[in-house]
Chains A and B, each alone.
Chain A
């Protein structure tokens, strides 16, 4: 158990007052309109959503799993964190296309890209799925905070879960996305400062940079400094084939929308940026900070490995980075460290509370239940659904031990079989709503078969996860491609309108020609 002195408590009280103060300060801006409550009026300079991208993707559980993979695989474990690099291409491709669509949410984008009944089914499905997913993520991250508080103060896990998510809800309910983004900016700075301080302290505690390199050599573990140390091309628990699959998923995924679970939160940041350029830079620079942060963590964890090289239990070494802070920081700075833990926690919680509320309000209530709702009512519905998400997350969090395996499987469902359709919907004019919908449905059944049912009955061998990805990608294509070709193309008027507004990349020849025939595209003139 950790002992705090007066100065430590002062840090925490000061920090919480600052966060809740945000809610009060931006209350008036948040209640102006639906656009303000969920997108801060679409007027933010790039560095504000960038800090939010960074802060949101620094959650309480993030240092745990990064510590886990680095302790296990050395510096090469950094590639486990590289899925966030989908933003490398997305920032200049799908971000640009999505920002030009002006859709509040990915669900709303479906009704701009596709038309008719298919698009409405997709919008409803994605909205419901996202409300569920945000509640799940809130529970997952919330219970991680419960465990940290249990480790530090011996509190029951539910105390950490309920207490800090509820404090966060104060400014999210008050100011909506204005509160989220302004708090994220401060939280991002506090968290980054703490990550550097604790990591540097950890490296010094391990004897300094040179001592870590020498220490690894003495332990016969110098390979841990090689970022490309794999267990073989196809063999072992960390093969090169996995690395190549990861690069494909992350980088090529940037051409699509929804190829990463993080897309849905980034989509909100993209739309809150004041211009297309601001949107692109917010995503690129926010993720660049994530990439750099992971490397700083990785170096500190190698220091932790030199200090404690023989930990076998994952649950024990996963707390490595926290231990560097808690065991080695002096009294007085411990409170700052805990305030930083609170910062990374609140930034994630606030994002998912507001994001889930946006899907529930914009796509379900506003579009399907009360299309004529006035702005004031929409903001109150936003607040009410945010509160429901908070309460639902407590239930999820408290039953997380039992359902985690199921829900990680649910996340995998999102990633594998619909990965390519998520790209096709952006780059290929002929891909229609029925093709995309059938991909989701097919993937739901096929992933059960490929991951669990067929291996259990020994029909197929149990495959490593990267092979499951390729298998699911091919198998679902065998269903959605025939469905696409056997059903009608989207209405040309609808496609032309979408094309002129969004100017998507890829195979849009027939739509472009039709737009040109109607005189909707300006002639290109060359200026050199």
Chain B
């Protein structure tokens, strides 16, 4: 079994999996490194360029990990969306209230 899954069935993509947790860790790290990296790079400090580079790599890695799963979730969900929207309109008109 590969560490990062690249092909998903709709049912498997709906589950919360290791790929989500890796993204949850990478995403804040990307923000932190981008924030520090940009500021220090403007002062042409070497550490700034290194941290900024790390931020770009983390961002790319995060997208690589999560994008196939998000695509599958989206494609599957859009098929069901029309029915859900009809239900939502019933709720606002009190037709679903028991």
Contact = CB atoms under 8 A, between A and B. Distances in A.
B35 interface: yes
A383 interface: no
A78 interface: yes
Interface in A270-301: 275-278, 280, 284, 287-288, 291-292, 294-296, 298-299
A85 B5 CA distance: 27
Interface residues of B, number: 51
B50 interface: no
Contacts of A284: 27
A108 B38 CA distance: 39
A92 B15 contact: no
Contacts of A100: 77
Given A85-B31, A525-B12, A296 B23 contact: no
B80 to A, nearest CB: 8
Contact of A277 (B5, B15, B73, B92): B73
B31 A291 contact: yes
Contacts of A96: 73
Contacts of A525: 9, 11-12
B31 to A, nearest CB: 5
A296 B38 contact: yes
B90 to A, nearest CB: 10
B92 A102 contact: no
Given A88-B31, A89-B27, A277-B73, A522 B39 contact: no
A323 interface: no
A102 B81 contact: yes
B1 A528 contact: yes
Given A75-B39, A92-B24, A527-B8, A291 B34 contact: yes
B73 A371 contact: no
The binding surface of chain B is classed by DSSP as helix
Interface stretch (A1-9, A143-151, A208-216, A330-338): A208-216
A371 B92 contact: yes
Interface string B72-98: 011101101100110010011110001
Contacts of B59: 288
Interface residues of A, number: 58
Contacts of A524: 9, 11-12, 15
Given A210-B44, A295-B35, A276 B74 contact: yes
Interface in A475-528: 491, 501, 503, 505, 521-528
A414 interface: no
A371 B67 CA distance: 39
A280 B70 contact: yes
B40 interface: yes
B45 interface: yes
The binding surface of chain A is classed by DSSP as helix
A19 to B, nearest CB: 29
Contacts of B70: 276-277, 280
A331 B91 CA distance: 57
B9 A88 contact: no
A93 B8 contact: no
Contacts of B54: none
Centre residue among A78, A362, A367, A524 by max chain B CB count within 10 A: A524
Centre residue among B2, B12, B43 by max chain A CB count within 10 A: B43
A69 B23 CA distance: 30
Interface in A448-473: none
B36 interface: yes
Interface string B38-60: 11101111000000000000010
A127 interface: no
A366 interface: yes
Given A102-B85, A280-B70, A528-B5, A299 B39 contact: yes
A505 B14 CA distance: 10
Contact of A505 (B16, B35, B81, B88): B16
B71 A521 contact: no
A372 interface: yes
A154 B90 CA distance: 54
Interface string A297-313: 01100100000000000
A82 interface: yes
Nearest to A70: B39
Interface in A72-92: 75, 78, 82, 85, 88-89, 91-92
A203 B42 contact: yes
A156 interface: no
Contacts of B7: 527-528
B93 to A, nearest CB: 4
B13 to A, nearest CB: 9
Contacts of B15: 524
Contact of B31 (A92, A288, A505): A288
Given A225-B43, A503-B14, A524-B15, 7 more contacts: A85-B28, A89-B27, A209-B44, A275-B74, A288-B31, A295-B39, A528-B7
Nearest first, the 7 closest Cβ-Cβ pairs linking A and B are: A522-B11, A275-B74, A295-B38, A299-B42, A295-B39, A277-B70, A88-B28
18 contacts: A78-B36, A82-B31, A85-B32, A92-B23, A96-B73, A102-B81, A108-B92, A275-B75, A280-B70, A287-B31, A292-B35, A295-B37, A299-B42, A302-B43, A522-B14, A527-B7, A527-B12, A528-B7
